[in-house]
Structure 1
Amino acid sequence: MQTHTAILSNLLVFNLEVNIWSARKKLIPHDLGDAELPPDELASLGSKKICSPEELRIFGTLKARAVSLLDRNGVRFLSGWAIPTAKAEEINQELALIQAEFMTAKDSFLQRYDATVADWVAKHPNWENMLTNSIVNKDYVRSKLGFRWQLFKVETPDANLNSSIDAMLQEDVGKLGSTLFDEVAKAATEAWNRCYAGKTELTRKALSPLKAIYNKLIGLTFIEPRVAPIADIIETAFQSLPRRGILRGASLFMLQGLVMLLQNPTALMQHGQMILDGVQQSDDILATFTQNNSLEMTNINQEQDDNDNLSELDEEPLFVDEELKELPPVLDSYGLW
C-alpha cells in the first residue's frame, strides 16, 4: 500500500480527448432506390461518405502525434497515460502546440466546408440526391471537431475506509510495471521489423527507436525495480558503439540481440531481476549477443574501420561524446527499493 502511494505521488495522469468528425452517415434503404436488399435480420446497411476523407486526414495525423507523445513519455494507466511529474510541464506545452495546429486546421476546414462538400457531390453526380440529402450544417461539424486534455493526480482513499474500496486502484498501480514492459516490447517489435530484421549493417537512424525506449524507461524507473536495470543495459549498449559510421559486426549483433531481448517482457523482467540480485551485469548480457560471432566480428570490424574512414566521415552521428555524457541518469527510486 505504501509503495503504491509513493508511486502515485510521483505521477500525473493525462487524459486525451480528440474528437474527429467521421463525415459519414448511415445508409438507409431509400438511398439505394429500388435495389433489392436482404432482410435486417440477415444484414445491415453500412455508411455513406458525405465529404472527402482526405480533407479530414490532418486531424487523424495530429491525434496520432499526441498519442505518440504520450506513449513515448508515459505508460497507459486508467483512462489515459501516467506521466512522471517532472515531465508534466513539458508534455503539457507540447500538447498545446499540437492543439494549436488542430484548431488552425479546424478553422481552415470550416471555411472551406461548403465548397468541399459541393466538390464531393459534383465528383459523384450519380449519387447527388443521396449525398445532398445527407449534408449536415457547419455548426454540427464544428461541434464534432475538438482537441482537449485533462491532467489529474490520483490518490488513494482515506486510510480509515475499508481496504476493499480502493482494491482495484491498487491492482492497476501494481500492473504499471508489466504494462510498461509490454509497451517496450511493442515498440521494440516495431523497431525490429522496421530497422533490424535481416540487416547486415545499420545506419545511425536505427538507433533512434532504441533511444526513445531508453528515454521512456528512465522517466519511469520508480514504478518497478526492474525498470532501471533494463535502462542501464540500453545505456551500456550506447556507450559501447563507435561514435560515427555504419554499424556492422559486433555492433550489429549486439543491437539485434538487444532489440530481440526488448521484445520479450518476461525476459526483461528476468534479466532485470538478475541484475538487481547481482547475478549478472549489463555487459554480461550484451556479450551473449556477440560471443557466437567472435571470428566473423574480427574481420568485419576491420572492414568497418576501413570503410568508415573512407566514406562515413561526414555522416551525422546520433551520439557524440558530449551527448553520451549528458544522457539522462536513471531516476531515483524514491525509497521504493
Structure 2
Amino acid sequence: MSHETQIILDRVVLVKVDANIYGARKKLKKEDLVLADGSILPPEDLASLGSKRLLDPDKLTVFNRLKKEAERICLRVGTRFLGGFAVPIESAASITAELERIALDFAAAKTEFIAGYDAAVTDWVVRHPEFAGIIEQAVDSVEFVSTRLSFDFLVVSVGLPESLPPADVARLDSKIGSLSEQMFYEISVEANQLIEQSLLGKEQVTRNALRPIRRMRDKLDGLGFLDYRVAPVVSTIDDLLARIPTKGAIEGSILQEILATAMLLSDPDKTRRHGEGLLGTQPPVVEEADVDEIIEHVETPAATVPVVKTALPPVIAETVPDSTDYNDLFDGIFDDELEPTPDDWALEVLLDKSQTNLETGNDADQANDSENAAEPATVTAEDDEEADDSDQDYWF
C-alpha cells in the first residue's frame, strides 16, 4: 500500500447506511390477467409482466425520504466509497448524531405504518374492487412486513491485513485514488443543480442561493487532503464569499461572478485544471534573513581597526512578476480557440476579476513608491488576516 493511500485512510472513516424498505409489490402472474378471446402473452424470455402493488405507495414515502436524508447528510461532508461514504474523522461525531436522529424517526414511522398496515391493504382493495382477488392472495403478513423495514448504520475504519497479495493492495490503491474524482463529480452535480434551479436567467437572487455554494466549499475544504488541487479552488470560493454584501438581494457583477464560479464547479475537469493552474503561478517562498546576523570586519594591513559588530535590519525579498497579465493563470483550461462556450464565459468573468484586482494593486504600489522615494523606510513583516464576515448559519 502506498504512503499516500495510508495517509488518506488515516484521515477518513467509512460510514455504511443500511436502510431496508418494504416494497409492497409482488410479481404479476399470467393468471392475474383476464385476456380477450384469442389473445396470447409473449413468452417469458421475450417479455416480463412486471409487478402489482399491494397498497398505496404513498404510505411508504416517509421511509424513502429518511433514507435519502441520511445519504445527503453523509454526502454533505463525505464522498461515496466502497458502498458507503468516506467521511473525515473530525466530522464523524456530528454525522453519527444526525444518523441517530434519523434512526429514531424511522422507528417511529415504522410503528405507525405497522399499526395501520391492515387498514392500508383494505383501503387499496376498496379502491380497486375488480382486482381484489389478485391483491388479497398476495398480501404479506404484518410480521413479515415488520422484518422488511429497518434502518441502521455503521462507522468503521478501513485498513489492510498485514499480509495481502500485491493485486489486492493495488486494487485498494486504485479505489482510494478514485476518491478525488468521485468528490469532484459530486460537486459538479450540486453545482449544476444550483445553476438550473437558482441562477440561470436570473437578474437577482436572494441569499439562499449562497447555501449550496457554502456547502460545496465546506465539502471541498474537509476533503482537501484527497487532492492537492482542492485548496486553490477553496480559496477562490472564499474570496468570492468575502465580497458578497451581507444584506439585500444579490445582483449585478457579483451575481455574474457567482454564476461563473458555479459553472466552473459544474465541470470536474475544469475545476481540477483551475486549481492546478493557480498552484503553478504561486511565487516561491523567500525566507527572511536572520535579524541577529552579525557581520565582522577583518583587520586591514594599514592600521589596526577594532572589530565592529553591526546588527542589520531584516531583509525582505519581494518577488515582482514579469508581467501584469494574469491571463495565464487559466492556461490549458481551453483546448482550442473556437467560439467561446458558456463554460469559457464563466472563466472569463473570473479572469476579468483577477485582472482588475491586479491593476488596482499595481497603481497603489506605484503611488506608494513615489511618496516614499525621498527618505528610506523601515519595512516590517506582519501577518495578513482576512476577516470572515460570511454567515455561518447556512445549512438547510
* Pairwise same-fold verdict (TM > 0.5): yes
Distance 1:72 1:150, change over 3 A: same
Alignment of 1:1-337 (within 5 A): 1-35=2-36, 36=39, 37-158=41-162, 161-279=164-282, 288-289=348-349, 324=390
Shift in Å, 1:162: 4.3
Considering fraction of residues, name the structure with more helix. Answer: 1
Q: Deviations over 1:297-328 (max 9, x none)?
A: xxxxxxxxxxxxxxxxxxxxxxxx8753979x
1:157/1:166 contact within 8 Å kept: no
Q: Deviations over 1:238-295 (max 9, x none)?
A: 00111111111111110010000001111111111122223599xx8899416769xx
| SS in structure 2 of the partner of residue 81 of structure 1 | strand
Shift in Å, 1:161: 4.7
- Tell me whether 188-197 or 28-37 shows the greater mean CA deviation: 28-37
- Find the aligned partners of 2:142 and 2:75 in 1 and give their Cα distance: 33
Shift in Å, 1:226: 1.0
- Find the aligned partners of 2:233 and 2:108 in 1 and give their Cα distance: 41
- Find the aligned partners of 2:127 and 2:182 in 1 and give their Cα distance: 47
Q: Deviations over 1:109-139 (max 9, x none)?
A: 0000011111111111111111111111001
Partner AA of 2:390 in structure 1: L
Shift in Å, 1:178: 1.5
TM-score under structure 1 length normalisation? 0.83
2:264/2:347 contact within 8 Å kept: no
| SS in structure 2 of the partner of residue 150 of structure 1 | strand
TM-score under structure 2 length normalisation? 0.71
1:74/1:84 contact within 8 Å kept: yes
Root-mean-square deviation (CA, aligned residues, Å) is: 2.2
Aligned position for 1:314: none
Shift in Å, 1:163: 3.0
- Find the aligned partners of 1:11 and 1:119 in 2 and give their Cα distance: 48
The count of aligned residue pairs is: 297
2:20/2:151 contact within 8 Å kept: yes
Partner AA of 2:256 in structure 1: F
Shift in Å, 1:224: 1.2
2:14/2:156 contact within 8 Å kept: yes
Percentage of matched positions with identical amino acids: 32
Shift in Å, 1:221: 1.1
Aligned position for 2:322: none
- Find the aligned partners of 2:203 and 2:221 in 1 and give their Cα distance: 30
Partner AA of 1:91 in structure 2: I
Partner AA of 1:175 in structure 2: S
Partner AA of 1:289 in structure 2: V
Distance 1:190 1:51, change over 3 A: same
Unaligned runs of 5+ in 2: 284-325, 331-345, 354-386
Partner AA of 1:6 in structure 2: I
Larger radius of gyration: 2
| SS in structure 2 of the partner of residue 14 of structure 1 | strand
**Structure with more contact order per residue of length (Cα contacts < 8 Å, sep ≥ 6):** 1
2:80/2:182 contact within 8 Å kept: yes
1:250/1:290 contact within 8 Å kept: no
Distance 1:109 1:164, change over 3 A: same
- Find the aligned partners of 1:291 and 1:185 in 2 and give their Cα distance: 21
- Find the aligned partners of 1:232 and 1:291 in 2 and give their Cα distance: 15
Partner AA of 2:53 in structure 1: K
2:260/2:347 contact within 8 Å kept: no
Q: Deviations over 1:176-225 (max 9, x none)?
A: 11211111111101111111111111111111111110111111111111
1:177/1:224 contact within 8 Å kept: yes
Distance 1:40 1:326, change over 3 A: closer
